[in-house]
Amino acid sequence: MLEKYSKEIDRLRAMAPKDKTIESMLHNLRENPFDVATRISLGGLLYTFGMLEKSVEVYEQIIKEDPEAALTYYHLGTVYFRMGRLAEAIKVLEKGFSLNKNVALFGYWLGVAYYHRGEKGKAEKYFKELLKACPESKMAYYHLAILAIAKADHKRSIEYLETLLKIDNCDTAALYHLATAYMNLHDTTKALSTLKRLLDIDPKDIRAKSLMDLMHSEV
């Protein structure tokens, strides 16, 4: 196992000479070359230091040996996504999700991958799966709101954003989109009050200031 990645390991050591994680990982692999958790860590380190193809190789080998290794599908899918290989990312993430629906972030990454593919219906499906697993997931509410906005369903986007803001009332991105949704529904009073909330949190927010100026000019 170690010999196969000797060049990459030397590069890791050169990039992070004080990183004890690397030496600990190598020690564990010497003791047990087939320890899945440590091999996943190796894949993660290779990914972190930009060796994406080698990271994929590590994860694919684990899956070849154990086709039921759900967490490995998750890690492999996220690397594929970062590489822009969306079809492959979706395939392995859906396989992993079918094996273990308790890993909430399968829903997130599948939602994002399908969104980037332009398949918004499937993206919505998986963000809702994320919400089932994590009822207070800001990421789920935010992305569902964005998908609702894309369909011009501003009332639904407001529902999602208001729920998100109950979890975190200082989320400026949510406040901005909420103000925009109110503006699209021609509710100027709520749009302006939402922008004021945002600017109270971040007075330098350029998007909010521009939208505020635009609305004042139209009043």
pLDDT, tens digit, for every residue of 98-117? 999 888 899 999 999 999 99
Q: What is the pLDDT of residues 151-180, one digit of tens each?
A: 999 999 999 999 999 999 999 999 999 999
- pLDDT bin (cut points 50, 70, 90) of residue 29 is confident
pLDDT reading at 8 higher than 70? no
Amino acid at 183: M
The burial class, CB within 10 Å (0-12 / 13-18 / 19+), for 57 is middle
* Across 46-60, 76-90, 121-135, least confident range: 46-60
Cα separation, 26 vs 141, in Å, equals 40
- pLDDT bin (cut points 50, 70, 90) of residue 213 is confident
Cα separation, 93 vs 88, in Å, equals 8
pLDDT reading at 214 higher than 80? yes
Write down the pTM of the prediction.
Answer: 0.82
The burial class, CB within 10 Å (0-12 / 13-18 / 19+), for 35 is middle
**Residue-level pLDDT at 69:** 92
In the predicted model, what is the mean pLDDT of residues 60-81?
A: 94
> Between 119 and 1, whose confidence is greater?
119
**Residue-level pLDDT at 119:** 96
Residue environment code for 171-190, b if the CB has 16+ CB neighbours within 10 A, otherwise e: bbbbbbbbbbbbbeeebeee
Which CATH number describes the domain made up of 136-219?
A: 1.25.40.10
Domain boundaries, the chain: 136-219
pLDDT reading at 1 higher than 60? no
**Residue-level pLDDT at 51:** 85
Contacts of 47-53 with CB under 8 Å at 24 or more apart are 47/79, 47/82, 49/11, 49/12, 49/15, 49/16, 51/8, 51/11, 52/79, 52/82, 52/83
> Between 3 and 206, whose confidence is greater?
206
Please provide the average confidence, as pLDDT, over all residues in the chain.
Answer: 89
Give CA separation, 195 vs 15, 76, 141, 144, in Å.
Answer: 45, 41, 20, 21
pLDDT reading at 11 higher than 80? no
**Residue-level pLDDT at 46:** 85
